[in-house]
Amino acid sequence: MAIATIYVTLILDGYKTFSQVPTHIKPEVKRQLEQLGYPELAQ
């Protein structure tokens, strides 16, 4: 899901937080952050 990847990038760059991610893509964003080694950003 491309939009999830965009949100992951925004979170990693500090422009968004996990709480700002739309509910319907939170599971995918969380999965990607965990795969990248940043599970603490998916809180």
| Mean pLDDT of the chain, nearest integer | 97
Q: What does the pLDDT look like over 30-40, one tens digit per residue?
A: 999 999 999 99
- pLDDT value, residue 1: 78
CA atoms within 13 A on the CB side of 18: 15
Domain ranges across the chain: 2-42
Angle, helices 26-35 vs 2-12, to 10°: value is 60
Q: In the 8-state DSSP scheme, what is residue 40?
A: G
Mean pLDDT of 18-28: 98
41 and 14 Cβ atoms separated by less than 8 Å: no
Helix residue ranges, H only, the chain? 2-12, 26-35
Q: What is the mean pLDDT of residues 8-26?
A: 98
